[in-house]
Copies of this chain bind each other. A is one copy, B any other.
Amino acid sequence: MPVPKTGIERGGARGILSGPRFLGRPVVDPQIRNLREEDYPYLRSVVNDWWAGRQIADLMPRFLFQHFQTTGFAAVADGAPPQIVGFLIGFVSPTHPEQAYIHLVGIDPSYRGRGLGRALYDRFFETARGFGCRYVRCITTPTNQASIEFHRRMGFKVEPGDAVTAAGIAVRSNYSGIGQDRVCFVKDLRS
């Protein structure tokens, strides 16, 4: 499978495009650490470029970097200074404490295809288990086939919807607003 150049979309956007050939390949560098508030200015400045010009910044307000550090992660490449080349923003649901949710994930285009997406997800799964969660949910756009395949490889199942795509994927219509259909994923952390 070719590795697409852009990570798409708003509302379930993922820049995670590692191909199957990276399955199981250990990521030695970059290193993954918890997200920090000081990561915000840099990521705010590059994230629209990482999404090929799409307006993503509104989906990552600064408060996520201030208040969701325990379930947010940055992948940092060695250098002087070290450079953030990927991130994942998620949380444990206060309303449904058995659930965790992944909101936004992005990988620097020049660092795609190294298994960084998998490494960030794995770190989040481990963290969510530590908080006592059983399920992880997230969404993506029906047109983002690479994201759909990535989530299936990561053990997510597509949740039932009220419509299907041409490729037979269940979607929830108007999930993120009129005309904004989404594929909804759930992963059982025990399976």
Residues of A within 8 A of B (CB): 10-11, 41, 44-45, 55, 57-59, 61-63, 66-71, 91-96, 99, 101, 103, 174-178
Residue of B nearest to A182 (CB): B62
- Closest residue of chain B to A63 (Cβ to Cβ) is B101
Contact A45 B96 (CB under 8 A): no
| Given known contacts A59-B61, A63-B103, A101-B67, A44 and B91 CB-to-CB distance under 8 angstroms | no
Question: In the bound complex, do residue B175 and residue A62 qualify as a contact, i.e. CB atoms below 8 Å apart?
Answer: yes
Interface pair A92/B94, CB less than 8 Å apart: yes
A129 to chain B, nearest CB (A): 16
> SS class of chain A's interface: helix, strand, loop or mixed?
loop
Chain B residues whose C-beta falls within 8 Å of the C-beta of A93 in the assembled complex: 66-67
Do residues B94 and A41 form an inter-chain contact, with CB atoms below 8 A? no
A176 to B40, CA, bound (A): 9
Could you tell me if B11 and A61 are in contact, using CB atoms closer than 8 angstroms? yes
Residues in chain B near residue A71, CB distance under 8 A: 94
Q: Among B10, B67, B92, which residue has its beta carbon within 8 angstroms of that of A58?
A: B10
A63 to B103, CA, bound (A): 8
Q: Which residues of B contact A175 (CB under 8 A)?
A: 62
